Amino acid sequence: MNAACWSCGSAVPAGKPWCDACGKVQAPLESVDFFTVFSLPRKLRIDMTALERTFYRMSRKLHPDLYAQASPEERQWSLDQTSQLNDAYRTLKDPIARTEYLLRLEGVEIEAGKSDDGKPRDSRVPPDLLEEVFELNMQLEEMRMNRKMGEDDPQLRADLEKARTQFESQLAAVDTGLEALWASWDETVDSSAAKSDTGNIKGEIVALLDRRRYIRNLVRDVNEALET
């Protein structure tokens, strides 16, 4: 979809921040998504070097200093385009933020989602971790009690450190799983596979993101308990 350049009337692809014909900065589109900002397909694996290079090239071209002599509208547009570009870059360069963003674009609810039992998905223990989480909560409770009493239990501390190592390796496994799913997603985008294929992949990605968030919270709790 093209728009017409406000200055010279040439066609400007939707979301392109400037007109290639006359070089004038265009009014930013609210509705443009971050992949379009970088002229990227909606894929989960991104060439980071290319992304960074494009970001710096576009930043230079939109730099507000270049528009010091321009009209107030153009000055404002260069600021708005720059801030949109920064948001897009920040989101796309982080693989997890990128994944969540793409899923939201695809209409998937993240984080706020409720599971079948009506509880927030974040608070639901992954079934295979039930035992470990139960034990961890006991240890964390004991640690808090100790702190209140001004006591230190080196064995408990060692146990918690061990638990942390275990959960960190679980996180690494989740990341490996996510990488495989990113690859499947991108393959589906490239091929003309049926929509139901991407539906399955989306569900698996959401499940791994939930698991990742859950385990990260556990690691954070352990870190807090060990801090003193």
Contacting residues for 220 by C-beta, under 8 A, at least 6 apart: none
C-beta of 73: minimal distance to Zn ion in Å? Answer: 14
Which helix (H) or strand (E) segment holds residue 227: the answer is none
Q: Which residue has the tokens 């501390």?
A: 157
Interaction between residue 48 and Zn ion (CB under 5 A)? no
Q: Which contacts of 33-42 are long-range, i.e. CB under 8 A and separated by 24 or more positions? A: 33/105, 34/87, 34/88, 34/91, 34/92, 34/101, 35/92, 35/102, 35/105, 37/84, 37/85, 37/88, 38/88, 38/89, 38/92, 40/92, 41/189, 42/102, 42/105, 42/106, 42/189
- 22 contacts Zn ion (rule: CB under 5 A): yes
- Stretch of residues binding Zn ion (CB under 5 A), selected from 14-22, 50-58, 100-108, 194-202: 14-22
Asked if 7 touches Zn ion (CB under 5 A), the answer is yes
Smallest separation, CB 3 to Zn ion (Å): 11
Select from 18, 19, 181, 218 the one that contacts Zn ion (CB under 5 A).
19
The reply on whether position 21 binds Zn ion by CB under 5 A is yes
Q: Among 9-17, 51-59, 109-117, 194-202, which window interacts with Zn ion (CB under 5 A)?
A: 9-17
Q: Is 158 in the site for Zn ion (CB under 5 A)?
A: no
Of the two residues 8 and 96, which places its CB atom closer to Zn ion in the complex? 8
Q: How many residues contact Zn ion, by CB under 5 A?
A: 7
Per CB under 5 A, residues contacting Zn ion are 5, 7-8, 10, 19, 21-22
